[in-house]
């Protein structure tokens, strides 16, 4: 049937209470109790026609009321009690059927659809009965009677069908007849690296077994998994993907794609194409892309995992034709398994298997809660245990809620605090949030954790994380810079301490499970769970009352801004990062409240119109990093309130003189602005409040104009290309140097000059956190020595150091100083492309070194030699990475302990045949030994038991094939691309095909790859990443 098109509609509202009372005197004079009439008013006032009939004949109306009361108000108690007995019987039968279904699933048997339908109906009836009981108990009574009894009795009558459902349940058949025997299983298929999953997973086993059995069943085609946000759908999908039985199935492609909210079909098509190495164009139609995907996949057996979809998709347009259950054996099998929050999407996707992820049972929930709330805290005071049980119940079996609340309570040892927490959980009543009902406990759980944060600034830091795209891995440094720019971190006496405080704040939020680590190996990025992000955005909009207070359209794939006058009048923060914006509108309304604008990652954006800036009178924070902007308009001086300006990694060529008018500017970031050549004299020195000027890897720092920096009161990052400019930097005593890169230096007079200059500056010693020495002509020896004027002081803030492409360097010599004195707090050291370097023995004397990476050093045969007494100083090393060391034959001839070593990564070290430790290291913290299988099999062991004990820790690495599309316009840029790519850690070989750069590597540092290519070529597109066993 067609639908009726309505152009206008009007809602007839109820009468206000005073108008509905009409002739109150008539009611009060009636023989029925006056309180009965008072009870009637709220019920009948919403029906004006009834009220009018009362005005005509109140006596007749009350007679009718009495007649209704004789039927419906006559003791509903017996009907409710009978209904409760039926519900108890139905509940018992439901438990029996549910247990039989789980046992069948665990045994790999097929569950009848009839049983699943009956189970759903029974659950619905039991839920309705519970609601009737609640309404009956809570209704406002008059001597035991209430007007609401009418509605309760009607619902009781409707529920009489429950007896019929009980009867049918007695004859239900749960298990289908066993399928005919199948052909032998295909040989195992090696899958990609398994997806990361927490070790604290609880209550997923039966669901995993059930779905895996469905995938193994040849009839399974589309499997839909649905449930509320935070219930564990993604974890379940990862467990299924990682299951050993999946690797035994004959699928050429096993593909994992995260869809996320707002994901359009085009993005899914492009993501899928990248996974299978197919190049699609943005300007192709959906049908053309679908056709090409179909042609690419039709001869392949495919298993596609789609996580977190928010709308139904045509499977054919994803290249996944629906193969019927009785498909010919010659036809390739396609299985799609997806997660969503909505059941109707499962039906919309024609899923022939639908699974709802329920909450954890009480026992499972308590087990998970204990893992995070800590048993010692729960047992610290009498009475807390029972409160903890009640709090766990209030989380309604939602894993995310249990984890969040558990973490929030893990340091609370007072009965009063626990009791108050339980009160808060029980009293929270919030409106709908992205499909979440008021009665849903998830928001109450989140609100408790959110309110438990130490202060408003910490809560504001959490809300700030929602400005990044969903499922986005946020660089910690970028996040801390944002917090600093917004004034969310207290101003300390150095930028080093400020950043350390920022890391502390991140740790606080991750510990509370409000953020999570995205890369546990290096711990440099974090991410926010999509449910937490939804809730923080909702809070940012004043709990839904001000929907346009924050506009967050990050990574939404749109190419132009839509500016509506009404909406922009109230916007305070706007995030349009990582989109396809190529321009901004010239004619815009004024944004009277907009204080923060994030445009980073719009790689096509090349121009900021002057009139656009004029419309931002109160803007304090502007991020234009990773765009193609080549200049700032003169109207930049109109941003009189601006405090934070980020132009990192842009091709900006000059700064306008008008920049000096920004009297409130505190933070000017110009990292990797390798085309910046012109800054008018006085522009920087006239910025009175400037605290941080970051020119790290900027071309402007190559100029002999360091005197311009005298206006900077606090800290700089800078790249220098001569000893002369280094000496000038040392002479500027008012500066604190935070980051220093010494690059292409060729004017060293003697081997110790470099470090003598650095160590002679008190400010550098007290502030330098990152030091890179790149392509410096040191000769065969680099001497680290202290100037005679200096006391026994080192670079006490230095945490990160790089020594790269120092071609003639054979050794580093220490004169009158010790490594632990010069680098007392060094955490990470990277040495690469030092072709003549012989060893790095001195690193063992660094007391806090956590990460050591050595790569592309052709002459190193023994990494650590002549250990002597320094062996006991290697206690902090956590990660050791060795790559492309062709002559390396041993790490050390002497045994090394490495008590905190967690990971060893060995790549392309063909002659390394001996490890400096044996079975004893297993008793420490060792987790992984990564390397190629051939290398591992050829290691020589002094004790055969060492290999037996260490083999479980070995994990074979995977060669990666990475395809990038670059802007390579001529032969020069193509040669530059080859030269740049081969220097990336982990890259083994590089080839070019048209405008595609194809790299093969092992454990390629994808973050460094992305940043390096964008810095050198501006626009970079990742086409695909594929993995294969070494």
Average pLDDT over residues 176-199: 51
Q: Which residue has the higher pLDDT, 585 or 424?
A: 585
Task: Say if residue 494 is in the same domain as residue 567.
Answer: no
The answer to whether residue 708 is domain-embedded is yes
**Integer CA distances (angstroms), 471 to 199, 323, 612, 626, in order:** 21, 32, 30, 20
Beta-sheet strands, E only, within 38-192: none
Residue 650 and residue 611 share a domain: yes
> Domain for residue 815, yes or no?
no
Q: Is the domain of 520 the same as that of 554? A: no
More confident of the two residues 626 and 157: 626
Instruction: For residue 180, give the 3-state DSSP assignment.
Output: coil
Q: Same structural domain for residues 165 and 238?
A: no
Cα radius of gyration rounded to whole Å, the chain? 34
Paired sense of beta strands 525-527 and 334-340, if any: unpaired
Average per-residue pLDDT in the chain? 79
Q: Is residue 283 part of a domain?
A: yes
Q: 274 and 414 in one domain?
A: no
List the structure tokens of 448: 């408790």
CA distance 272 to 318: 8
CATH value at residue 227 = 3.40.50.300
**pLDDT tens-place string over residues 26-41:** 444 444 444 444 444 4
Closest CA to 373 of 361, 386, 388, 362: 388
User: Are 559 and 678 in the same domain?
Assistant: yes
Question: Tokens 């820790």 — which residue?
Answer: 953
Digit-coded pLDDT (tens) for 735-787: 889 999 999 998 888 888 889 889 888 888 889 999 999 999 988 889 888 76
DSSP state of 958: E
Confidence of residue 45 (pLDDT cuts 50, 70, 90): very low
Do 352 and 229 belong together in one domain? yes
The per-residue b/e assignment along 53-77, b for 16 or more CB within 10 angstroms, e otherwise, is: ebeeebeebbeebeeebeebbeebe
Same domain, 426 and 497: no
Q: Is residue 673 part of a domain?
A: yes
CATH code, domain with 972? 3.30.70.100
The torsion defined by the Cα of 701, 703, 704 and 708, in degrees rounded to 10, comes to -60
**620: pLDDT confidence band, cut at 50, 70 and 90?**
very high
Higher pLDDT, 397 or 79: 397
Confidence of residue 792 (pLDDT cuts 50, 70, 90): low
Token duo for residue 166: 């009980």
The pLDDT value given to residue 481: 95
Predicted confidence (pLDDT) per residue in 79-102, tens digit: 667 777 777 778 778 777 877 776
Kindly report the number of other CB atoms within 10 A of residue 183's CB atom. Answer: 6
Q: Spell out where 806-867 has E strands.
A: 811-815, 828-832, 851-855, 862-864
Q: Are 207 and 223 in contact (CB under 8 A)?
A: no
> Is 807 part of a structural domain of the chain?
no
Residue 389 domain flag: yes
Least confident range from 121-135, 446-460, 617-631, 727-741: namely 121-135
Number of H helices, E strands in the chain: 35, 33
Is residue 791 exposed (0-12), middle (13-18) or buried (19+ Cβ within 10 Å)?
Answer: exposed
Q: Among residues 500, 502, 531, which one has the least CA distance to residue 514?
A: 531
The more confidently predicted of residues 132 and 847 is 847
The edge-to-edge listing of strands for the beta sheet with 525-527 is 474-475, 525-527, 516-517
532-536 contacts, C-beta under 8 A, 24 or more apart: 532/400, 532/404, 532/446, 533/465, 533/466, 533/470, 534/229, 534/433, 534/434, 535/433, 535/443, 535/446, 535/450, 536/450, 536/462, 536/463, 536/465, 536/466
Q: Is there a contact between 210 and 236 (Cβ–Cβ < 8 Å)?
A: no
In a domain, 869, yes or no: no
Task: Kindly indicate the confidence band of residue 7, based on its pLDDT and cuts at 50, 70 and 90.
Answer: very low
Residue 41 has a pLDDT of: 46
Can you list the alpha helix ranges (DSSP code H) found in 486-543? Answer: 495-511, 530-540
Q: Are residues 684 and 567 in the same domain?
A: yes
Q: According to the per-residue pLDDT averaged within each range, which of 327-341, 422-436, 716-730, 785-799 is highest?
A: 716-730
Distance CA 631, CA 522 (A): 35
Tokens 């970031």 sit at which residue?
Answer: 669
Q: Which segments within 556-627 are labelled E, that is strand?
A: 573-575, 596-598, 621-623
Q: Round to the nearest angstrom and report the end-to-end CA distance of the chain.
A: 60
Tens digits of per-residue pLDDT, 888-945?
Answer: 999 988 878 788 888 999 988 999 998 887 777 766 788 889 888 888 888 988 888 8
Interval 232-248 mean pLDDT: 86
pLDDT of the residue at 323:
53
CB 338 within 8 A of CB 330: no
Kindly state the average pLDDT of the residues 130-146: 59
| Confidence at residue 4, expressed as pLDDT on a 0 to 100 scale | 39
CB-neighbour burial class of residue 168 (10 A; exposed 0-12, middle 13-18, buried 19+): middle
What element of type H or E holds 220?
none
Please check whether residues 525 and 590 belong to one and the same domain: no
Write down the pTM of the prediction.
0.60
Which letter does DSSP use for residue 11 in this model?
-
Could you please report the per-residue DSSP string of 924-943?
A: TT--EEEE-HHHHHT---SS
For 669, phi then psi, to 5°, come to -110, 120
Q: Which residues, including other chains, have CB under 8 Å from residue 167's CB and lie 6 or more apart?
A: none
Q: Does one domain contain both 88 and 45?
A: no
User: Closest Cα partner for 726 from 770, 764, 758?
Assistant: 758
Q: How confident is the model at residue 695 (pLDDT cuts 50, 70, 90)?
A: very high
CA 940 – CA 923 distance, rounded (Å): 21
- pLDDT value at 554 more than 80: yes
Q: Is 827 a domain residue?
A: no
Residues 573 and 679 in one domain: yes
Tokens of 12: 């007839």
Range with lowest mean pLDDT among 194-198, 321-325, 921-925: 321-325
At residue 869, the pLDDT reads: 52
Q: Report the distance separating Cα 664 and Cα 932, nearest Å.
A: 55
Could you tell me which of 330, 308, 195 has the C-alpha nearest to residue 261? 308
* Nearest to 693, CA basis, from 674, 719, 661, 675: 719
- Helices 399-409, 384-394: inter-axial angle, 10-degree rounding: 150
Higher-pLDDT residue of 126 and 2 is: 126
In this prediction, residue 617 carries a pLDDT of 95
Contact 1001, 962 (CB under 8 A): yes
Q: How far apart are CA 238 and CA 307, in angstroms?
A: 9
Alpha-carbon span 13 to 10, nearest angstrom: 9
Euclidean distance between CA atoms 429 and 221, whole angstroms: 41
Q: Which domain holds residue 523?
A: 454-474+488-530
Q: How confident is the model at residue 700 (pLDDT cuts 50, 70, 90)?
A: confident
Query: Over 60: is that where the pLDDT of 191 sits?
Result: no
DSSP at 159: T
**Number of domains making up the chain:** 7
Rounded CA separation 103/896 (Å): 52
185, 191, 240: which is closest to 212 by C-alpha? Answer: 240
């Amino acid at each position: 049937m067609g639908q009726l098109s309505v152009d206008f509609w009007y809602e007839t509202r109820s009468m206000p209470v005073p108008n509905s009372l009409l002739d109150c005197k008539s009611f009060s004079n009636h023989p029925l109790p006056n309180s009965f009439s008072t009870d009637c008013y709220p019920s009948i006032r919403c029906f004006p026609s009834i009220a009018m009939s009362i005005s005509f004949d109140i006596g007749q109306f009350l007679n009718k009321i009495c007649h209704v009361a004789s039927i419906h108000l006559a003791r509903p108690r017996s009907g409710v009690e009978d209904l409760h007995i039926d519900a108890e019987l139905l509940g018992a039968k439901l438990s029996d059927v549910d247990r039989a279904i789980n046992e069948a699933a665990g045994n790999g048997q097929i569950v009848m659809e009839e049983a699943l339908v009956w189970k759903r109906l029974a659950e619905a009836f039991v839920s309705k009965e519970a609601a009737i009981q609640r309404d009956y108990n809570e209704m406002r009574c008059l001597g035991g009677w209430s007007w609401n009894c009418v509605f309760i009795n009607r619902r009781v009558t409707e529920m009489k069908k429950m007896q019929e459902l009980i009867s049918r349940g007695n004859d239900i058949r749960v298990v289908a007849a066993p399928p005919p025997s199948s052909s032998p299983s295909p040989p195992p298929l090696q899958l990609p690296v398994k997806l990361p999953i927490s070790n604290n997973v609880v209550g997923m086993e039966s669901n995993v077994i059930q779905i895996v059995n469905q995938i193994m069943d040849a009839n399974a085609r589309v499997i839909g998994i649905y449930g509320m946000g935070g219930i564990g759908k993604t974890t379940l999908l990862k467990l299924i993907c990682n299951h050993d039985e999946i690797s035994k199935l004959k699928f050429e492609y096993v593909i994992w794609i995260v869809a996320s909210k707002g994901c359009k079909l085009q993005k899914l098509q492009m993501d899928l194409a990248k996974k299978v190495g197919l190049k699609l164009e943005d300007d192709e139609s959906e049908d053309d892309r679908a056709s090409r995907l179909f042609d690419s996949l039709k001869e392949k057996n495919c298993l596609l995992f789609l996580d977190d979809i928010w709308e139904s998709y045509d499977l054919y347009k994803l290249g996944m034709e629906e193969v019927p259950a009785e498909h010919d054996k010659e036809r390739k099998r396609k299985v799609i398994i997806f997660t969503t929050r909505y059941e109707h999407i499962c039906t919309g996707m024609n899923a022939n298997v639908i699974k709802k992820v329920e909450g954890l049972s009480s026992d499972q929930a308590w087990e998970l809660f204990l893992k995070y709330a800590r048993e010692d805290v729960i047992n610290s005071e009498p009475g807390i245990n029972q409160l903890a049980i009640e709090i766990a119940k209030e989380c309604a079996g939602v894993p995310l809620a249990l984890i969040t609340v558990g973490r929030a309570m893990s340091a609370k040892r007072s009965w009063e605090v626990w009791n108050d927490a339980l009160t808060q959980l029980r009293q929270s009543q919030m409106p709908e949030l992205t499909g979440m009902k008021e009665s849903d406990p998830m928001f109450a759980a989140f609100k408790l954790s959110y309110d438990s944060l130490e202060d408003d600034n910490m809560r504001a830091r959490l809300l700030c994380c929602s400005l990044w795209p969903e499922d986005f891995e946020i660089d910690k440094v970028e996040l801390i810079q944002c917090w600093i720019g917004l004034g969310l971190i207290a101003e300390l006496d150095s930028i080093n301490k400020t950043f350390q405080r920022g890391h502390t704040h991140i740790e606080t939020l991750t510990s509370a499970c409000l953020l999570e680590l995205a890369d546990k190996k290096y711990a440099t990025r974090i991410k926010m769970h999509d449910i937490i992000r939804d809730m923080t955005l909702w809070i940012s909009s004043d709990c839904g009352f001000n929907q346009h207070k924050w506009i967050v359209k990050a990574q939404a794939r749109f190419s132009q801004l839509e500016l509506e006058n009404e909406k922009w009048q109230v916007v305070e923060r706007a995030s349009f990062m990582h989109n396809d914006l190529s321009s901004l509108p010239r004619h815009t309304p004024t944004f009277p409240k907009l204080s923060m604008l994030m445009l980073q990652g719009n790689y096509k954006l090349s121009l900021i119109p002057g009139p656009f800036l004029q419309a931002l009178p109160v803007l304090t924070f502007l991020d234009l990093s990773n765009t193609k902007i080549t200049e700032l308009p003169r109207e930049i001086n109109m941003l009189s309130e601006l405090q934070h300006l980020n132009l990192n990694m842009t091709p900006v060529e000059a700064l306008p003189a008008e920049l000096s008018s920004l009297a409130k500017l505190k933070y000017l970031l110009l990292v990797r602005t390798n085309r910046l050549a012109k800054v008018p004299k006085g522009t920087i020195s006239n910025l009175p409040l400037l605290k941080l000027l970051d020119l790290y890897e900027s071309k402007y720092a190559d100029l002999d104009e360091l005197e311009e920096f005298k206006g900077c009161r606090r800290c700089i990052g800078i790249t220098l290309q001569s000893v002369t400019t280094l000496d000038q930097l040392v002479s500027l005593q008012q500066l604190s140097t935070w980051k220093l890169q010494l690059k292409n230096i060729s004017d060293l007079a003697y081997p110790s000059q470099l470090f003598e200059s650095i160590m002679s500056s008190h400010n550098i010693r007290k502030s330098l956190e990152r030091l890179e020495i790149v392509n410096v002509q040191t000769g065969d020896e680099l001497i680290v020595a202290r100037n005679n004027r200096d006391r026994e002081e080192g670079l006490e803030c230095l945490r990160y150091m790089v020594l790269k492409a120092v071609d003639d360097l054979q050794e580093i010599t220490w004169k009158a100083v010790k490594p632990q004195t010069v680098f007392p707090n060094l955490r990470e050291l990277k040495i690469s492309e030092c072709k003549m370097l012989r060893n790095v023995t001195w690193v063992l004397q660094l007391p806090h070194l956590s990460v050591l990476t050595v790569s592309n050093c052709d002459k190193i045969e023994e990494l650590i030699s002549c250990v002597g007494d320094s062996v006991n100083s290697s206690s902090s090393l956590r990660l050791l990475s060795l790559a492309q060391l062709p002559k390396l034959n041993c790490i050390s001839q002497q045994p090394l302990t490495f008590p905190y070593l967690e990971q060893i990564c060995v790549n392309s070290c063909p002659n390394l045949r001996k490890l400096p430790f044996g079975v004893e290291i297993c008793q420490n913290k060792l987790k992984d030994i990564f390397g190629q299988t051939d290398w591992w099999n050829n290691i020589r062991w002094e004790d055969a038991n060492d290999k037996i004990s260490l083999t479980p820790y070995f994990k074979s690495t995977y060669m990666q094939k990475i395809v990038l599309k670059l802007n390579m316009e001529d032969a020069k840029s193509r040669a530059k691309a080859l030269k740049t790519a081969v220097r990336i850690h982990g890259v083994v070989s590089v080839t070019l095909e048209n405008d595609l750069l194809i790299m093969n590597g092992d454990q390629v540092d994808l973050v460094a790859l992305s940043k390096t290519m964008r810095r050198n070529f501006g626009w970079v597109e990742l086409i695909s990443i594929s993995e294969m066993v070494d």
